[in-house]
A = this chain, B = another copy of it.
Amino acid sequence: MPLMKSWVASANEADHPFPLNNLPYGVFSTEGGDPRCGVAIGDVILDVTAAEAGGLIELADEPLFDLPFWNPLMEEGPAVWAALRNRLTALLAEGAEEQAQVEPLLIAQIDAEMHMPFAVSEYTDFYAGRHHAQNVGTMFRGPENALPPNWLHIPIGYNGRASSVVVSGTDIRRPWGQLKSPDHDMPAFLPSRRFDIELEMGAIVGTPSDGPISVQEADDNIFGYVLLNDWSARDIQAWEYQPLGPFQAKATATSISPWIVTKAALEPFRCDTPVREFELLDHIKDCGPMLYDIDLEVTMEPDGKDATVIARTNYNEMYYSAAQQLAHHSTSGCPMNTGDLLGSGTISGPTKPERGSLLELSWGGKEPLTLDTGENRTFIEDGDTLTLTGAAKGKGYTIGFGDCVGTLLPALENPYAR
């Protein structure tokens, strides 16, 4: 598919993340205004709430965009998702009759503040990147026992904390937590000293389910994708995670990109999961290309200094697709709801510059990175800004997500002072 031309000139620029082929969904506000639903096109946002209120978009008897999140549309299902996309494409395409009516509803992105694009029902994070699991397992258990016995048979996942999911741009406060240094006999309550990122994609459930669903049904039920950074306190995690998994180490914050890129926009970029060592059992077997070819990049920017690219990889490095993860999530009969967010797990490629966490990049803190500024890093230091970007590169156009960015603030001196 070539670039689709829009009458919004900036959307036609080479490598612009928001061409007419994309049309990602977000929630924005302008100074003094309430948050509302919008779609990104070039350098502007079409105010979808206003477009619906003004009769330019009519999809249902009740308004779908009068709340500041996209869940009501997500609940409507694939036919309405397609109808909206068709209508937005028609309104914004070169030569659209409605251009004069739509133009007053465009807001410059530079003037907009972005909010959470959807209400997160529940949040699940997976551990489904082969290279990440191999790296982490090698560090902790040696290369022979790197992958747990179940790893090649099910996408390992754990429930995270929906209340801690925040939109890109939200500052992250370094957490306190109980941890135990290897050179101490007893734990202590301290600010985390090994605070990390996890480069991930997040899949958003649109259509709910109640009972086991197949991989194909799971793929059908997914509404779209965001970039996701699962901030992780490695020292808290090391002390707490046995035997029941990570808990407070992962509960400070998880950042997502401001724009939900729909499955329709990503359709040309579908690709297969890798060749498998063991055939998967039927309930999670591949049934079509359900990963996506999306280039991913992480930069680290010390306070007031230039940013350095610290990792480049691709979503196609995953061992399990989001559809397989969602299908697995439903096997026990677990009801899945509109707005459930599934983190892919850290995405790392096979070589060192492709690693999606500082834990891997600095090999557990033993091999510091050198930034372009000349500074060294093992984990994140106060004031560092971490930015995730993603781009699916088509023939003549690019699909972007907007930056997923967060700055680490120093720990509070006394977290219990009010």
CA distance in complex: A233, B177 (Å): 31
A169 partner residues in chain B, CB cutoff 8 A:
none
Nearest chain B residue, comparing its CB with the CB of A284:
B178
CA distance in complex: A416, B149 (Å): 26
A416 touches B212 (CB 8 A): yes
Stretch at the interface among A155-163, A309-317, A387-395: A155-163
Among A159, A233, A239, A328, residue most surrounded by chain B Cβ atoms (within 10 Å):
A159
B159 touches A331 (CB 8 A): no
Contact with B along A162-174 (1 / 0, CB 8 A): 1110000000010
A252 touches B334 (CB 8 A): yes
Q: Which of B159, B188, B249, B333 contacts A247 (CB 8 A)?
A: B159
A332 touches B249 (CB 8 A): yes
A244 touches B246 (CB 8 A): yes
A334 touches B248 (CB 8 A): yes
B163 touches A121 (CB 8 A): yes
Asked if A243 meets B245 with Cβ closer than 8 Å, knowing A159-B158, A177-B332, A251-B334, the reply is yes
A158 touches B245 (CB 8 A): yes
A248 touches B329 (CB 8 A): yes
B331 touches A178 (CB 8 A): yes
A122 partner residues in chain B, CB cutoff 8 A:
122, 161-163
A150 partner residues in chain B, CB cutoff 8 A:
180, 187, 239-240, 242
Distance (Å) between the CB of A248 and the closest chain B CB?
Answer: 4
Among A188, A239, A333, residue most surrounded by chain B Cβ atoms (within 10 Å):
A333
Provide the main secondary structure of the chain A interface: loop
Q: Which of B121, B186, B415 contacts A211 (CB 8 A)?
A: B415
B163 touches A333 (CB 8 A): no
B154 touches A240 (CB 8 A): yes
B242 touches A148 (CB 8 A): yes
A415 touches B212 (CB 8 A): yes
A25 partner residues in chain B, CB cutoff 8 A:
none
Contact with B along A240-273 (1 / 0, CB 8 A): 1111111111011100000000000000000000
Nearest chain B residue, comparing its CB with the CB of A278:
B186
A244 touches B214 (CB 8 A): no
Asked if A157 meets B251 with Cβ closer than 8 Å, knowing A187-B281, A281-B188, A332-B177, the reply is no
Among A189, A251, A282, residue most surrounded by chain B Cβ atoms (within 10 Å):
A251
Q: Which of B127, B253, B281 contacts A333 (CB 8 A)?
A: B253
A331 touches B241 (CB 8 A): no
**Is A116 interfacial (CB-CB < 8 Å)?**
no
Asked if A158 meets B247 with Cβ closer than 8 Å, knowing A163-B121, A415-B211, A416-B212, the reply is yes
Q: Which of B159, B175, B243, B244 contacts A332 (CB 8 A)?
A: B175
A337 partner residues in chain B, CB cutoff 8 A:
163
A163 partner residues in chain B, CB cutoff 8 A:
121-122, 334-337
**Is A401 interfacial (CB-CB < 8 Å)?**
no
A333 partner residues in chain B, CB cutoff 8 A:
164, 173, 175, 251-253, 415
**Is A320 interfacial (CB-CB < 8 Å)?**
no
A212 partner residues in chain B, CB cutoff 8 A:
176, 415-416
- Besides A122-B161, A177-B331, 9 more A-B contacts (Cβ < 8 Å) are A148-B243, A153-B186, A156-B247, A159-B159, A164-B333, A241-B244, A248-B332, A252-B334, A253-B333
Chain A residues at the B interface, C-beta cutoff of 8 Å = 121-122, 127, 148-150, 153-154, 156-164, 173, 175-178, 180, 186-189, 211-214, 233, 236, 239-249, 251-253, 278, 281-283, 328-329, 331-337, 415-416
A to B CB contacts below 8 Å, 12 in the list: A122-B161, A122-B162, A127-B243, A153-B187, A154-B187, A154-B239, A157-B247, A158-B159, A163-B337, A214-B416, A248-B334, A249-B332
